[in-house]
């Protein structure tokens, strides 16, 4: 969880902007809610490495130097992140790290003091030079970080891969993670939710699918769409990296970003996996649709079963589910219902749950907890009646 400079500032960054947003993370309550990384994206460097072969910070943008900057961020109780690329250059044609992985890992962590590395996929060298696929190019930096950690005894840099293709996600899934690019409108959010519905299994403590920076407060998302955006990213266990200019962030934006009940599930120290779809809804299951992604999701948490219901329609909708459609719900049990946006306890659900008038592109986020056996005498005796049969052989269906 943290802040990244790219969406709000692109290349117009400086040490003043970075420190200003670090201080805003504290004053706006974001640090208290768990956002503890301040990450610098592309364009911080000089265009050429120095005579020793090292990346050099742009002296106009960062006159005090990167070590002074990270010291200032650490003094605020926050962590610092930096950016590089697996190719010859970054996406904005600053020096990349290909064939300099060990040198750059040492520079970023030991000399500059960074804790996190966003690693991009631009300026790919020719195949006859690399003789590696994308996973191999990423592995070069992963190995360099691991070797550095072993030699210094320090915890390794956190490695965050920025890669926009999907064809090989299954290869690195839980090892490295996966990222996409979100744009500040509903179609982009819906498209990424759709993509992640097919890769949500590749997500655990050792690798998180990075659904890209949060566009809360940017662009044309409505309040309800922003809630859906945040909920989907958080409950699918994506890193939560704010892409908003915090100086202009509204109270509504901060309210969404600091929903502690949603954040608690994202940061669950016991359960690393996120929610996955158990029913697509409008479309048949396992059908890809970038405008109408899967609507019914569920997952585990240390405190109960999580449900996420997304209304992908352009009008309000009533959404119904049988609780045992979720693989984490037990038959014969009733469940207390906690609404994670209303922050209210909404009674007890027995077998079924209905969400009424879910706003267009809106979301329902629930935490269900075991509330004991369901009432006696319910009929039929099975919530799902197909092949429901008595011990004597009488089929209920």
Domain ranges of the chain: 2-266, 276-373
Range with the poorest average pLDDT among 44-58, 80-94, 177-191, 287-301: 177-191
Q: CA-to-CA distance for 68 and 185, rounded, in angstroms?
A: 37
Give yes or no for a contact between 106 and 145, defined as CB atoms under 8 angstroms apart: no
Other Cβ atoms closer than 10 A to 133 = 12
Cα-based distances in Å from 169 to 104, 118, 199? 26, 17, 7
Range with the poorest average pLDDT among 79-83, 152-156, 180-184, 189-193: 180-184
Give yes or no for a contact between 179 and 161, defined as CB atoms under 8 angstroms apart: yes
User: Coil, strand or helix: which one is 296?
Assistant: strand
**pLDDT over threshold 80, residue 172:** no
Spell out the CATH class of 2-266.
alpha beta
Scored b (16 or more CB within 10 A) or e, 302-321 reads ebbbbbbbbbbbeeebebeb
Percentage of residues in the chain with pLDDT exceeding 70? 94
Percentage of residues in the chain with pLDDT exceeding 90? 85
Strands 2-4 and 37-39: parallel
pTM (predicted TM-score): 0.91
Q: Which two tokens stand for residue 84?
A: 């590089």
Contacts of residue 128, Cβ cutoff 8 Å, sequence gap at least 6: none
Contacts of residue 12, Cβ cutoff 8 Å, sequence gap at least 6: none
pLDDT in tens, 114-166: 999 999 999 999 999 999 888 899 999 999 999 999 999 999 999 988 876 54
**pLDDT over threshold 60, residue 385:** yes
For the segment 76-102, the average pLDDT, to the nearest whole number, is: 97
**pLDDT over threshold 80, residue 175:** no
Instruction: Give domain 276-373's CATH number out of 3.40.50.1820, 1.10.287.3510, 1.10.3720.10, 2.60.40.1180.
Output: 2.60.40.1180
């Amino acid at each position: 969880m943290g802040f990244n400079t790219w969406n709000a500032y692109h290349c117009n960054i400086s040490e003043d902007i970075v420190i200003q947003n670090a201080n805003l993370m504290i004053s706006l309550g974001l640090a208290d809610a768990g956002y503890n990384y301040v990450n610098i994206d592309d364009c911080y460097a000089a265009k050429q490495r120095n005579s020793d072969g090292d990346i050099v910070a742009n002296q106009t943008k960062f006159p005090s130097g990167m070590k002074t900057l990270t010291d200032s961020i650490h003094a605020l109780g926050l962590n610092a992140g930096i950016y590089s690329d697996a190719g010859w250059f970054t996406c904005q044609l600053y020096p990349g790290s290909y064939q300099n992985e060990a040198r750059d890992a040492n520079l970023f962590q030991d000399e500059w003091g960074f804790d996190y590395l966003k690693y991009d996929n631009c300026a790919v060298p020719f195949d006859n030079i690399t003789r590696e696929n994308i996973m191999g190019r990423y592995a070069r930096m992963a190995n360099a970080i691991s070797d550095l950690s072993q030699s210094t005894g320090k915890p390794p840099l956190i490695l965050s891969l920025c890669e926009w293709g999907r064809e090989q996600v299954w290869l690195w899934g839980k090892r490295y993670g996966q990222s996409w690019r979100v744009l500040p409108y509903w179609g982009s959010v819906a498209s990424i939710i759709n993509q992640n519905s097919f890769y949500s299994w590749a997500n655990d403590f050792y690798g998180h699918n990075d659904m890209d920076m949060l566009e809360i407060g940017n662009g044309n998302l409505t309040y309800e769409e922003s809630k859906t955006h945040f909920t989907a990213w958080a409950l699918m266990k994506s890193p939560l990296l704010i892409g908003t200019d915090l100086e202009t962030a509204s109270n509504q934006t901060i309210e969404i970003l600091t929903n502690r009940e949603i954040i608690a599930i994202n940061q669950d120290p016991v359960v690393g996996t996120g929610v996955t779809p158990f029913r697509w809804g409008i479309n048949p299951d396992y059908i890809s649709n970038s405008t109408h992604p899967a609507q019914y999701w569920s997952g585990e948490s240390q405190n109960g079963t999580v449900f996420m219901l997304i209304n992908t329609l352009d009008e309000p909708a009533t959404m119904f589910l049988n609780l045992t459609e979720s693989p984490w719900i037990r038959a014969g049990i009733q469940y207390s219902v906690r609404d994670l946006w209303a922050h209210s306890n909404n009674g007890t659900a027995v077998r079924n749950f209905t969400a009424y008038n879910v706003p267009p592109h809106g979301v329902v986020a629930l935490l269900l907890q075991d509330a004991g056996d369901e009432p006696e005498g319910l009929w039929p005796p099975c919530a799902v009646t197909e092949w429901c049969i008595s011990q004597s052989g009488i089929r209920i269906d």
